[in-house]
Amino acid sequence: MAAFRNFNVSRHLPSVSFVALALVVITAFAAVLVYVGVYNIGADAPHSKAVYWLIDGVRDRSIAVRARNIEPPADLNSQSRIATGAGLYAEMCSGCHLAPGMEKTEISQGLYPQAPELSRGLAHSPAQQFWMIKHGVKLTAMPAWGRTHDDQLIWDMVAFVGKLPSLTPAQYKAIVASAPADHDEIMKEMPSMMKEQSAPVR
């Protein structure tokens, strides 16, 4: 115990000047790597396992933290929400996320990271799905639909995504065909959003 009390931590730490020099060297090295274009940013060149693991972890934790206080509506599983969400999904989402019985599209094959096929299920909670649909996800093709669609419509999409894995191709086609209104009609019922879209960018 006496030896422990007399242990001088500062003597075993690197000096401030050494740490500063190391940071300068690391920063300069990173800058050189960026400047010479070492990292291939092409969508047809997959990340290394380490980079993919890091990005995956950052994304999932970011979504989980920001969605933790979101409460799904009590009627999330209502048929009206699911039906409206089906029409929105078919028009806005199926090109990337596909649907039961749907062949891969040109867009879905060219995306990186690949958009998850939602008919196979999604590990994220409804609150997390809502956050992703509303705010989008950086460095992917996932747009922030909250810029053009209100929360009610986004919850409609979440309701349908939850139902999607249980649908057969025939059931999917039927529920989309029975959607209550097409996309243009739905958007006409959102005057605040349409006004926002038409406002000049400053």
**CATH number for 113:** 1.10.760
- pLDDT, position 192: 54
Q: Which helix (H) or strand (E) holds 176?
A: helix 169-177
> Is 32 part of a structural domain of the chain?
no
Q: Give pTM, 2 decimals.
A: 0.80
Inside any domain, residue 21: no
Q: Rounded to the nearest 5 degrees, what angle is found at the Cα of 79, between the Cα atoms of 74 and 80? A: 85
Residue 166 within a domain? yes
For residue 150, give the amino acid letter: D
Give the pLDDT of the chain (202 residues) as one tens digit per residue.
555 555 555 565 677 888 888 899 999 998 998 899 988 989 999 999 999 999 999 999 999 999 999 999 999 999 999 999 999 999 999 999 999 999 999 999 999 999 999 999 989 999 999 999 999 999 899 999 999 999 999 999 999 999 999 999 999 999 999 998 777 777 777 655 544 544 443 4
Tokens of 19: 């740490």
Helix, strand, coil abundance in the chain, percent, nearest 5: 60, 0, 40
Q: What integer pLDDT is reported at residue 1 of this predicted model?
A: 52
- The reply to whether 192 falls in a domain is yes
Q: Are 120 and 133 in contact (CB under 8 A)?
A: no
What is residue 159's DSSP assignment?
A: H
Q: Which domain holds residue 106?
A: 75-196
